[in-house]
């Protein structure tokens, strides 16, 4: 499971499974890398994708450092929390995501089922104006809160900024919660995410667009995330 | 627009396993008023194959909805649904406006119907007013978890006319599975009623149930 005082780089994979397999084998072995089965990937291949990704990353991590491989299923759950969490957990996911925009009943059921099945719950705050308000209404806090600027939002509205200011606000009240930041893709954005005390930085574009350079890019990003 | 505005439709959402989906589809009566939905859990578990298989099992020309519940990367969802053979695809009303606009635009370009799912949206009219173009269908939706954990939550039937008074658009109601709720939805002007519970597992009653629902939805 995730450690409180470490910083993590979460790489979301969204290419074909064949390409992802060689990308994962090219990654530098590091327990600070989190592998994400991206949301479009899941909808294209189903949860079988989680199982495969898990196996590839496990092989890689076992050969090198024997650290526990950590794979996130980006379900973006909106309803039927039990069914979705179970599907992800049985496929071997270490964590799964639920939308902060989902009904509270769904979020509460999601967090509870994740706890029962021993996987981490991640609450994705895409398009949530006041993440704080949602957290305060929950019966229990998720393991990770993900602050997220969507791809479509970011591309259509260049002025939309990453909600970096929320990181400290959340951490100062909920000290057990880890905060992830998603939607920034440049080294500069990653640096400012970590500077603002994010525990996890989620990236996808530079990795999925340059699969052949993934070892170099990952090493560069890991250097910045400490 | 592929659906006919004057007709009333029964949308059967398949959410269990592909095997059940196949059995259910094969036992349904043939009716152009039946819409078949590849449910969200089915898509997340089996991937796009869920959509293409349902299409293969259904009578040719069946209107198939891919319930992808898009919340970002609209282009990818629409592209996947089109390639798998769906005639309509869903996007969440709680998604960023940029995503919903891109989604509707992409559906138009690819000639499939866009459905905006208003689950957990308190005021659907205000979301519709912000859009550059209107979707083909708006889904008023009470979620399964909401229904189960908050028994007092009502389906927002009054919103059907609120929407139809403001926009020339089809309205679908999801989240009510009893005959009583279906009657209320139709009485209040819904064009499509989405059901799933009665069609979660196939049984000997499946064909009659579909017939009964079709009778109520006119």
Judge: domain A8-224, CATH 3.20.20.70.
yes
Contact A101 B94 (CB under 8 A): yes
What pLDDT digit, counting tens, does each position of B137-177 carry? 999 999 999 999 998 888 999 999 999 999 999 999 999 88
Among chain A residues, CA nearest to B101: A152
Whether B80 contacts B68, CB under 8 Å: yes
pTM value surpassing 0.90:
yes
CA distances from B102 to A51, A77, A156 (A): 32, 21, 9
What pLDDT digit, counting tens, does each position of B66-98 carry? 999 999 999 999 999 999 999 999 999 999 999
The reply to whether B150 touches chain A by the CB within 8 Å rule is: yes
The two beta strands, B192-195 and B137-141, are: unpaired
CA distances from A220 to A144, A188, B162 (A): 25, 12, 54
What's the pLDDT score for residue A53?
Answer: 96
CA distances from A6 to A32, A222, B7, B64, B112 (A): 8, 12, 58, 46, 46
Whether B71 contacts B105, CB under 8 Å: no
**Per-residue pLDDT band at A65 (split at 50, 70, 90):** low
Structure-model confidence comparison of residues B218 and B29, the more confident one: B29
What's the pLDDT score for residue B175?
Answer: 93
Output the six-digit token pair for B9.
Answer: 């439709």
Residue B153: phi, psi to the nearest 5? -65, 125
* Closest CA relative to residue A191, chosen from A214, A222, A148: A222
The two beta strands, A144-148 and A120-124, are: parallel
**Per-residue pLDDT band at A206 (split at 50, 70, 90):** confident
- Mutation target among B42, B46, B71 for the A interface, most CBs of A within 10 A: B71
Give residue limits of the domains in chain A.
Answer: 8-224
Please give the domain boundaries of chain B with CATH numbers for all domains. Answer: 11-216 (3.20.20.70)
| B84 vs A44: CA distance, rounded Å | 10
What's the pLDDT score for residue A64?
Answer: 61
């Amino acid at each position: 499971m995730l450690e409180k005082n470490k910083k993590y780089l979460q790489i979301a994979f969204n290419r074909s499974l064949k390409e992802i397999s060689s990308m994962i084998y090219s990654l530098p072995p590091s327990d600070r890398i989190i592998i994400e089965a991206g949301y479009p990937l899941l909808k294209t291949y189903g949860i079988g994708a989680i199982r495969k990704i898990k196996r590839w990353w496990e092989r890689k991590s076992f050969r090198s450092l024997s650290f526990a491989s950590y794979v996130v299923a980006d379900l973006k759950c909106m309803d039927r929390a039990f069914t979705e969490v179970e599907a992800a957990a049985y496929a071997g996911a270490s964590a799964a995501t639920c939308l902060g925009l989902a009904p509270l009943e769904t979020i509460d059921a999601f967090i509870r089922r994740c706890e029962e099945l021993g996987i981490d719950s991640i609450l994705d705050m895409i398009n949530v104006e006041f993440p704080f308000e949602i957290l305060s209404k929950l019966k229990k806090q998720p393991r990770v809160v993900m602050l997220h600027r969507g791809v479509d939002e970011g591309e259509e509205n260049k002025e939309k900024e990453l909600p970096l200011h929320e990181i400290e606000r959340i951490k100062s009240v909920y000290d057990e919660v880890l905060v992830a930041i998603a939607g920034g893709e440049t080294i500069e954005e990653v640096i400012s995410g970590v500077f603002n005390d994010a525990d996890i930085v989620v990236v996808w574009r530079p990795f999925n667009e340059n699969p052949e350079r993934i070892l170099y890019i990952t090493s560069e990003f890991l250097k910045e995330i400490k | 627009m592929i659906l006919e505005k004057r007709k009333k439709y029964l949308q059967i959402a398949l959410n269990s396993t592909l095997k059940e989906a196949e059995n259910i589809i094969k036992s349904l009566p043939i009716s152009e008023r039946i819409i078949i939905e590849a449910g969200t859990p089915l898509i997340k578990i089996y991937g796009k194959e869920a959509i293409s298989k349902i299409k293969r099992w259904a009578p040719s020309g069946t209107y198939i909805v891919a319930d992808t519940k898009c919340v970002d990367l609209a282009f990818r969802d629409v592209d996947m649904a089109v390639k798998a053979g769906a005639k309509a695809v869903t996007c969440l009303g709680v998604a960023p406006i940029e995503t919903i606009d891109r989604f509707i635009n992409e559906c138009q370009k690819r000639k499939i119907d866009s459905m905006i799912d208003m689950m957990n949206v308190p005021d659907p009219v205000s979301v519709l007013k912000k859009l550059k173009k209107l979707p083909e269908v708006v889904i008023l939706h009470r979620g399964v978890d909401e229904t189960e954990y908050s028994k007092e939550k009502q389906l927002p039937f009054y919103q059907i006319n609120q929407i139809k008074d403001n926009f020339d658009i089809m309205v679908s109601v999801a989240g009510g599975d009893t005959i009583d709720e279906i009657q209320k939805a139709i009485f209040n002007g819904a064009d499509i009623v989405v059901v799933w519970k009665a069609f979660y597992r196939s049984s000997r009653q499946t064909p009659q149930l579909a017939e009964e629902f079709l009778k109520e939805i006119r």
